[in-house]
Homo-oligomer: A and B are copies of this chain.
Amino acid sequence: MEFANVSERQAMSPELAVSTVIFALRDEADDGEAVGRPTLWLPLIRRTREPYRGQWALPGGPLGARQTLQDAAAANLRATTGLAPSHLEQLYAFGGLDRSPAHRVVSIVYWALVREDDEQGTEAAPDAGGAPTHRERLLKDPNVAWFPARDDAVIEALAFDHAEIVRYALWRLRNKVEYGSIAHRFLGPRFTLAQVQEVYEAVLDRRLDAANFRRHLRGAPGIEATDEYLHGGKHRPPRLYRYAGDTAAVPQENTNTEEQRDRS
């Protein structure tokens, strides 16, 4: 249990990587069904080398010497989506012995929420000239693709132990949404309560009673009614709300704002 010299220590110490589970809400359904309700999607990277060459995996990479864990996770996010996270939080450190066939790799995994319509964090204004932006390039990259987070056929076929990681991330997302005010991070600065409800329903994967849900949100801190209404719909125009809590999209290093409980 004592340190040896530096070279020996480095020879012993397993490789350290940071991966990120990225969630976004999308409207389209995979198949022909016109669903109308948004569902959870996540981007994956196709591996271009062994092991697991050709299979889909979570975005990730080694931790740079001058990179915070959170920085590395944000870099994963940006490389995969071109977006800034609207929420980013550490999930778990996975350190099993046989996660990767050849080397021993310890992965510190983060999970993130993004808004795809978010223009913050996107590269500078699209240069009228011609060079495609990072996001435009990503859309054409055959090794980056989005999948429904509940598509078991895809998730279970992921490389390494990434299926387990995604299941755990989904579970954490559910718990976080059930309690707190995280749902609005999928939405823009102004939103209707029905939109928040759709987020809840997509994440929890069940229907909620609109009346009770509204009452629930009244109690929640940070959600404030504006005096604006969303016009242009086919029916009674709903009131717009805004979130008036901590505006910081990305929590600071070692934010430790999460809470853990045991329901078992």
Q: Which residues of A contact B (CB under 8 A)?
A: 1-3, 9-16, 61-66, 68-70, 75, 79, 90, 92-97, 104, 106, 108, 164, 168, 171-172, 175-176, 178-182, 245-246, 253-254, 256-264
Contacts and interface: CB of A to CB of B under 8 A. Distances in A.
Q: How many copies does the complex hold?
A: 2
B13 A62 contact: yes
Contacts of A261: 175-176, 178-180, 258-261
B260 A13 contact: no
A262 B63 contact: no
A260 B262 contact: no
Nearest to A106: B16
B108 A95 contact: yes
A257 B95 CA distance: 16
A99 B254 CA distance: 12
A170 to B, nearest CB: 11
